[in-house]
Amino acid sequence: MANFVLVHGAWHGGWCWQRVTTALQQQGHRAFAVTLTGLGERAHLLSPAITLDTHIDDVMNLIEAEELQDVILAVHSYAGMIGTAVADRMGKARIKHLVYVDAVIPKPGESWSSTQASVTQQQRMAAAQASPNFSFPSPDPEVFGLKDADHAWVKRRQTPHPGNTYQAPLSFDVQRVAAIARTFVNCTQPALATIEPSRLRAKDPKFWDGAWLPNSKIVEIKTGHDPMISEPAALTQILLNCVA
């Protein structure tokens, strides 16, 4: 029996992992889908006080409260920032495998916004400043390649994202994170433009001063940015392959 912790990206909640958590549990594993503070069913907590560290603590506290060891930690999109931090702070002793699901792979000192176009940064911060709780609204799920019932489901469930997570820099020890086995899940049809810098980093032998490529691999799914919704069986199998 393996321990899976699944962390959603911006605007989502633990709800988006339903199909994957069910499949993992049917295989006899423990699977926990975190909902980050201020999002999903915790949207009533949305406030300017939420920071990147709040979300990092959300994940670390779940791991501690459930007394999990050998965690396979899957982080989606924005949560690549969180997974990197958790791997650094908890280390190889607690985290067995880190799975970046079409996720941000930061450099030390970068924020989530660092690899995004300046116009995107300006739009999101302007929206946050104009909102009563310093948040920015969700995009139409069509940008994630979702259609029909899946599109409608995500559109009605998405919630605004806490703005003070966007430009917060993350400090971490590259070697501590690189000591943990890592998989980058590259979602290619359609490929979300804001993840392109991370796609390039995942195959760059010079990234993290050469520490990234050893002990890491890339797996491709021909689907959009929300594979836990559009291709749950394929994503579940990738996660199961991390158990061995």
Catalytic site residues?
A: 77
Residue 200: alpha-carbon gap to chain centroid: 17
Q: How far apart are CA 33 and CA 22, in angstroms?
A: 11
Question: What is each CA distance from 109 to 73, 99, 169, 174, in whole angstroms?
Answer: 22, 21, 5, 11
- Find all residues with CB under 8 Å of 71, minimum gap 6, and list them: 3, 4, 5, 63, 94, 95, 96
Q: How far apart are CA 37 and CA 43, in angstroms?
A: 7
Q: Show the tokens assigned to 238.
A: 């990738």
Indicate the pairing of strand 3-7 with strand 71-76.
parallel
